[in-house]
Amino acid sequence: MKQALFILFLFSLLYLKAIEISGDQSGTWSSADNPYEMIGNITVPAGELLQIEAGVEVVAMGNFRITVLGNLVANGTAADTIRFHGNEGINWGGLRFENEAGQSELYYCRVSHTDDINDYGIHSVNSPILVDHCHIDDHQKGVSFSGLSSANPSYMEIRHTKIANVLKSGITIVDNSNVLIDSCEVTQCGLGPQYYGAIQLSLQSNSHNCSPEITNNHIHHNGKQGITMANLFDYSTMAPVITGNLIEHNLTGIYLYSAQGYIHNNQIMNNFIAGDANSGAGVMLYGASAEGVFTGNEVSGNFTGFYLTAGATANIGNVENASDLDDGMNYIHDNIDEYGNVYSIYNDSSAEVMAQNNLWDSADPDEIAETIIDAYDNMTSGEVIFEPLYWYTTPPAPENLELAINIQHEIYLSWEFEEILGFEYFNIYSSHEFGPYEIIGTSVEPEFTYEDMPGDGGGQYYFYVTAVNVHEIESDSSNVIEYYYVEADDFIAFPNLTLDNYPNPFNPSTTISFTLTDEGNSSKKKNDRKQIDNTEIFIFNSKGQKVRNLVKGNFSPGHYSVEWDGKNEQGETVCSGFYFIILQAGSNQISRKILLLK
């Protein structure tokens, strides 16, 4: 009984500890005073600042809202987030920002449970705001960035944030081009019966525009469209820049309703809902004003790649005009509906569609045409012009091939490559002692490591790399790089050769001494070993590149020395690092590792 009373007493203390808040608020909220219980609407007055520290928990006890007329700065951390939510799942009014001058900031905050039809988790009304590393979940509507009241709306940005479990749109942008959505995850939005995109753009005034940037997001498993551009009244400009996104497993990937836009380097994949005949377009364009420019996208695994209707058109690649910003290079493949029909482009619109310079399921124009519905299938549809094809162009050659020795004493090759759509892999070629070049490996990354040296034994090796696309068209070679490989046995001193240097480490020069004897020399006949032919001393760097040839000639047996001044063949001083002295005398060879320190 005493124990039960003690526990009840502790709960009473916790209850008494809660801070009840309502009305005007400013200053600082600290986790030491947790929880903050909203018992009424809260306002941050104009000209005032409310700072919320990491770990604070704000609990709404009813359908109350926080309205920011001044500034709100909530600085959580990855380990100690700030929580805004309703008590035991109760719905509340969310955060509304109305200060058009000063920026508010939310870092590492979680905002949950605003399910009222008029409320958002976060609603900025022409108020500059930065939302970063937050989690917005369980809402009727998630986030709204509205510029409806201004001809020049404030800048609003949301980054590295997850928006999930929303009945309507995860993020809504209204009449605002000064918005950036970057590196967010938007999932399980559009769960209600109405068609709201996970990211929804809306233009509600003919004097405004709505062309935000939507970059590097993962938009997936939403009940309706991934991105919807809804210019329902065909007002002014709606032409967002949409780049670098992964848009997958939505009812439709991207929907342009009387909208334009530059859609570049996105992956638009597997957008359909099984059994739903209204789903399945990777990209859908509707209305005579709809015309997007599509370059560098991969559109695959949808019921149909592109679907156009009601007078819409699209620039999916045009190499006939002067611009190089619309040259296609999309990879449109494996778009197959539930009945096994392949639809790369389904043009149900009367407008012509340019779709040149792209990769398709096939390199055969007749086979590509079988995957396109246009004027050749329906006399009321416009033609889809898809030739020339992209892959007849040779891929660019890899550049700046370099060689290094890693800590496991393996050869490591690396190079640069301009990323292209339809790239499959690199071929790595090698030649040993001026023999024929052979493929010694492949890689999908711009690097390659040898666990075992190719060829037979040490000596001079040459390398280059090529790029191969999806239809096995191979690029020109990269630059050729050479490497003098010394096998482990070559580091053993031969009885007729010695090699040393002093000092080691050295700066700026070192004296290399070597001894030649005729014992075991096979370069001359047995009774004629008075000199040793083909004696050379080379300096190689740690990348296997020859730096200097110090000695070359025929020598009699004896002791010799030569100075290396730390310069290459061009007389230029080399940089600090490890180098190798290679002594080649007849058929024998030894080496020594030296260190130049500056």
Residues 117 and 195 in one domain: no
How much is the pLDDT for 493? 40
pLDDT confidence band for 245 (50 / 70 / 90): very high
| Domain assignment present for 122 | yes
454, 485, 516 - which closes a domain: 485
447, 465, 485 - which closes a domain: 485
Residues 426 and 331 in one domain: no
**Contact yes or no for 329/337 (Cβ under 8 A):** no
pLDDT confidence band for 487 (50 / 70 / 90): low
With 80 as the cut, is the pLDDT of residue 252 above it?
yes
Q: pLDDT tens digit string along 30-60? A: 999 999 999 999 999 999 999 999 999 999 9
432, 450, 485 - which closes a domain: 485
With 60 as the cut, is the pLDDT of residue 248 above it?
yes
Residues 376 and 287 in one domain: yes
How much is the pLDDT for 448? 93
Domain span including residue 510 = 489-596
pLDDT confidence band for 418 (50 / 70 / 90): confident
Residue 537 maps to which CATH number?
A: 2.60.40.4070
| Domain assignment present for 519 | yes
| Domain assignment present for 470 | yes
Q: pLDDT tens digit string along 270-309? A: 999 998 888 999 999 999 999 999 999 999 999 999 999 9
With 50 as the cut, is the pLDDT of residue 522 above it?
no
Where is mean pLDDT largest: 42-56, 142-156, 471-485, 541-555? 42-56
Residues 359 and 440 in one domain: no
pLDDT confidence band for 10 (50 / 70 / 90): very low
pLDDT confidence band for 531 (50 / 70 / 90): low
| Domain assignment present for 195 | yes
Q: Using a pLDDT cut of 70, give the percent of the chain over it.
A: 89
If you average pLDDT over residues 559-571, what whole number do you get?
89
**Contact yes or no for 583/550 (Cβ under 8 A):** no
Q: pLDDT tens digit string along 157-169? A: 999 999 999 999 9
Q: pLDDT tens digit string along 433-478? A: 778 889 999 999 999 987 765 445 567 788 999 999 877 889 999 9
Residues 564 and 498 in one domain: yes
How much is the pLDDT for 389? 86
Cα of first residue to Cα of last residue in the chain, in angstroms, is 80
* Prediction pTM value: 0.72
Q: How far apart are CA 220 and CA 246, in angstroms?
A: 8
Structure-model confidence comparison of residues 392 and 529, the more confident one = 392
Residues 90 and 176 in one domain: no
Region of residue 275 (phi > 0: left; psi between -120 and 50: alpha; otherwise: beta)? left
Tokens coding 282: 């990777």
Task: State how many domains the chain has.
Answer: 5
Q: Using a pLDDT cut of 90, give the percent of the chain over it.
A: 63
With 80 as the cut, is the pLDDT of residue 416 above it?
yes
pLDDT confidence band for 9 (50 / 70 / 90): very low
Residue 462 maps to which CATH number?
A: 2.60.40.10
Average pLDDT score, the chain: 88
Q: pLDDT tens digit string along 395-408? A: 899 999 988 765 55
How much is the pLDDT for 240? 96
| Domain assignment present for 10 | no
Please list, residue by residue across 454-490, b when 16 or more beta carbons sit within 10 angstroms of its beta carbon and e when fewer do. bbeebbebbbbbbbbbbeebebebbeebebbbbeeeb
**Contact yes or no for 187/220 (Cβ under 8 A):** yes
| Domain assignment present for 523 | yes
Spatial CA neighbour of 359 closest among 396, 321, 387: 387
With 80 as the cut, is the pLDDT of residue 523 above it?
no
Residues 124 and 49 in one domain: yes
How much is the pLDDT for 486? 57
With 90 as the cut, is the pLDDT of residue 172 above it?
yes
**Contact yes or no for 369/342 (Cβ under 8 A):** no
How much is the pLDDT for 405? 65
| Domain assignment present for 262 | no
Residues 297 and 365 in one domain: yes
How much is the pLDDT for 331? 93
The dihedral over CA atoms of 537, 543, 547, 553, expressed in degrees to the nearest 10, equals 20
Residues 102 and 81 in one domain: yes
Residues 303 and 338 in one domain: yes
Residues 214 and 285 in one domain: no
If you average pLDDT over residues 98-125, what whole number do you get?
91
pLDDT confidence band for 21 (50 / 70 / 90): very high
Residues 149 and 227 in one domain: yes
| Domain assignment present for 12 | no
Q: pLDDT tens digit string along 339-396? A: 999 999 999 999 999 999 999 998 899 999 999 999 999 999 999 999 998 765 688 9
How much is the pLDDT for 492? 38
